[in-house]
Structure 1
Amino acid sequence: MIDLTSYSALSFDVYGTLVDWEAGIATVLSEWAQRRGSSLDQEALLLAYADNEAAVEREYPGLVYAEVLQAAFRRTAKDLALPVTDEDVQALGRSVPDWPAFEDTHVALTRLKKHYKLIILSNVHEQGVEGSIKRMDVVFDQVNTAERIGSYKPSPRNFEVLIEILDELGVAKRQLLHVAQSLFHDHVPGKAIGLDTVWINRRHNRPGWGATPDPQIGVTPDLEFTSLAAFADAADAAFAAKG
């Protein structure tokens, strides 16, 4: 059991952890699939989509995320043998700022901000993150995006940059705790570079991996919670006990 009071900063994945990217993606894909006469449900569409997005990010690390979404959508449509138009894929590409924050995000982040500096390490472009920050209505101390870094998680480069610029906040690596939902994008590379991590297991009551690829290798986060609110409860309790 790690001591939550020993950290001074939290770095967050945004999409899947703070913002419901599965709901955002599934809404667009479902509307498209229904128009094409497909009976696939949201989970099936997310499963078909997940590996395609990861593949595009791996093959084209300099591509802006809105374009990643479009390319992944086209590959998914091809896999499913369903027609897709430019208008269809552009709808997904511009949808990021409209993706909803989880119900507990704003309040939990506000509580956590009393104890920690808050950092974003996101796989999304600048415009998308800006829109999501407005929805979360919380001021972050540092924002790092795939567009700014030039690569996508799970690339080690994203975590190397995160650690390199911690000194701008006066934070040492040992004082940083990484908080994320995705084992594939965050916990595997985060643990590989030596970070302590907290798993916000948003899919705890659903089977499968959804829009996140199977990590393929085992990884053990230091703590696991089923919601951000539960993590905030634990942090509040730890600091209260310390006095």
Structure 2
Amino acid sequence: MRWVTFDCFGTLVDWRHGIRTSAELVAPGQGARLLEAYNRHEHVVQAESPTLRYRHVLAEALRRACADENVELNGDDAAVLGTTLPYWPVFPEVGAELSALRAAGWRLALLTNCDRDLIAETRRRLPVAFDAVLTSEDVGAYKPADAHFETFRRSYEPARWVHVAQSYFHDMGPAHRLGIPRVWINRQGGRPADEKVIQQELPDLGGLLSVVENA
């Protein structure tokens, strides 16, 4: 079986838009600042508590972001990200590119730092079905730990496997470490800390099939 595995949030779903606009609901005018502050905290919370459910990671990272930016949260406002996540928008090219992969005979899987219930809601918005999903809740860890990748390899024994993701930190690092062919979806236009970690690079999923076929 030939498999392409994907990270979901940031790669297929517009994670930055989701964080920013959701933060605006509880702190009008502060969404952009809170997004950048949130980015500093999420991976720290995940490393501190690898088995913490993702909706609680979202809430704690938002609380810390608000503390950094002197933004007051009221009541259960910190739950807003977990509440809105199933409605975060899918990038416009995703449907066509995933359909092309499936038509060419590739099987598709998600390796996601998310809970089962949240990804189940998100999958309803994805325009193409996936053959397998592994969550942090399933493997008891958050990327960049190796657990998602090792569990997938053990469970599905892929004859050929390419991993596609936007996050250099969460996905490209462990895929490189484990020798998995990989495509970096560089939506933010920055440069990686270590260029040799990147094998193939695209600005979005456009043209993914030909890159995967040659990875």
* Same structural fold, with TM-score higher than 0.5 when normalized by the shorter chain: yes
Q: Residue 231 of structure 1 is aligned with which of 192, 208, 215?
A: 208
The 2-side partners of 1:58 and 1:216 are apart by 20
Q: How many residues align?
A: 213
Unaligned residue ranges in structure 2 (runs of 5+): none
Q: Residue deviations 1:5-46, cap 9 Å, x none?
A: xx8210100000001111111111133332xxxx5561x322
CA contact (8 A) 1:11 1:118 kept: yes
Which one-letter code corresponds to 1:150 in the other structure? G
Quick one: which of 50, 53, 56 aligns to 1:61? 50
Equivalent residue in structure 2 for 1:87, among 76, 82, 85: 76
Distance 1:41 1:132 in 2: 22
Asked if structure 2 preserves the Cα contact closer than 8 Å seen for 1:188 and 1:219, the reply is no
3-state secondary structure, aligned to 1:94: helix
Q: Structure 1 unaligned runs (5+)? A: 1-6, 209-214, 239-243
- 23, 26, 38: which one pairs with 2:17? 23
Computing the radius of gyration over CA atoms, which structure comes out larger, 1 or 2? 1
1:46-125 correspondence to structure 2 within 5 Å: 46-115=35-104, 116-125=106-115
Alpha-carbon distance, 1:80 to partner: 1.3
CA distance in 1, matches of 2:196, 2:76: 39
Of residues 4, 11, 17, the one that matches 1:10 is 4
User: In 2 relative to 1, CA 218–48 (structure 1 residues): closer, same or farther, beyond 3 Å?
Assistant: farther
TM-score by length of 2: 0.91
The one-letter amino acid of 1:181's match is: Q
Mapped partners of 2:8, 2:51: distance in 1: 19
Match of 2:162 in 1: 177
CA deviation digits over 1:187-227, x for unaligned, max 9?
011101111110111112xx69xxxxxx7655532111111
In structure 2, what is the equivalent of residue 161 of structure 1?
151
Alpha-carbon contact 2:200-2:211 (below 8 Å) kept: no
**What's the % identity of the aligned pairs?**
34
How many angstroms apart in 2 are the aligned matches of 1:81 and 1:219? 39
